[in-house]
Amino acid sequence: MIGILKKNVYERSPLLNALLYLLLLIGAFISLFPFYWMFISMTKTTAEIFTFPPNLLPGERMMINIANIIDRVQYLRVFANSLLISSIYAVCTILLCSLAGYSFAKFDFKGKKIIFSIILMTLMVPYQATLIPLFRLMYFFGWGNTYQAVILPTAANVFGIFLMRQNMLSVPDSLIEAARIDGCGETRIFAAIVMPAVKPALSALTIYMFMFQWNNFMWPLIILRTNEMKTIPVALSGLIADGQVIDYGMVMAGTSLATIPIIMLFLMMQRQFISGILSGAEKG
């Protein structure tokens, strides 16, 4: 009897379910419509894009706009630059942040809490305040206009260290101690036991870091001088800032092509991404 009453209390009415689904549909439409508009805009001329009322059907200039963007900003080279920089950055960030997170989660050493607190406090330093000293440091090393100047300065990402530490706290200490008793070295424990246990968090961090570097604009704009080294955000900004008449169909073509890798990466890793976010939220 009590179970029936509880079921009646918590069971939603069909009207409430319909309202919830309606709200979800409205939210999905608001979220997805800008992407739809971007993709159909790449198939139109500037005049067709700004027609009122807007035409929501695709146009016939997609291949022309793609050819124009490829010719205008050496888009294939720019795309390859962004893909190379973002991929290497994601790998370096995962490695460094995982090692740091493992150290803070599973090792006891003097000053650990103080060091971790100082690392978290660096999040309060404005990113813009570091640009000038970082620029001078890169040229002191002779790294001006190079890939490593874009990748290495933020490879040890504070957010990544925090995320990996929070997830590695959930790995049982008894499991690690048992592996040590069996003769496993720390490298093997880290690679064969700890890393597979936090795979969802690794997937979430991969998406975060790849997307961060893929969309990074300010630092590549400052440190990269030549057109051959530019990334996609820097190259596309030049189409709007050069003072000429803006071909928005061409700009949308470049933007749409730049969005495809992010969408593909998220679709491939969406389950692990969601699991990593939820598991990170549960740790204290």
Q: What is the pLDDT of residue 284?
A: 44
Nearest one of 194, 201, 169 to 279, comparing CA atoms? 201
List the domain boundaries for the chain. 42-282
Two tokens, residue 223: 């440190």
Residue 174 and residue 264: Cα distance in Å, rounded?
Answer: 38
**CA 34 vs CA 31, 37, 38: distances in Å:** 7, 5, 6
- Residue 41 token pair: 């805009």
What is the dihedral sign for C-alpha 48, 53, 54, 60? Answer: negative
pLDDT reported for residue 154? 87
Check residue 9 and give its pLDDT: 42
Residue-level pLDDT at 91: 93
Instruction: Give pTM, 2 decimals.
Output: 0.81
Rounded CA separation 103/109 (Å): 9
HEC string for 136-185: HHHHHCCCCCCHHHHHHHHCCCHHHHHHHHHHHCCCCHHHHHHHHHCCCC
Closest CA to 34 of 262, 256, 261: 256
Per-residue pLDDT for the chain (284 aa), expressed as one digit of tens each? 444 444 444 466 777 888 888 898 998 889 888 888 888 888 888 888 888 887 888 878 888 888 888 888 888 899 999 999 999 999 999 999 999 999 998 888 888 889 999 998 988 888 888 889 999 999 999 898 899 999 998 888 899 999 889 888 888 888 888 888 888 888 888 888 888 888 888 888 888 899 899 999 899 999 998 888 999 999 888 877 655 677 888 888 888 888 888 888 878 776 666 665 555 444 44
pLDDT at 1: 44
Token pair belonging to 161 = 């260290």
Tokens matching residue 134: 């970082």
What pLDDT, on the 0 to 100 scale, is given for residue 184?
Answer: 82
Quick one: fold of 42-282?
Answer: MetI-like fold (1.10.3720)
Q: Residue 200 in contact with residue 275, Cβ under 8 Å?
A: yes
Question: Could you give the C-alpha distances from 251 to 33, 36, 159, 165, 281, in angstroms and in order?
Answer: 18, 15, 32, 41, 38
In 3D, which of 90, 92, 68, 88 has the Cα closest to residue 80? Answer: 88
Instruction: Please list, residue by residue across 63-87, b when 16 or more beta carbons sit within 10 angstroms of its beta carbon and e when fewer do.
Output: eebbebbbeebbbeebbebbeebbb
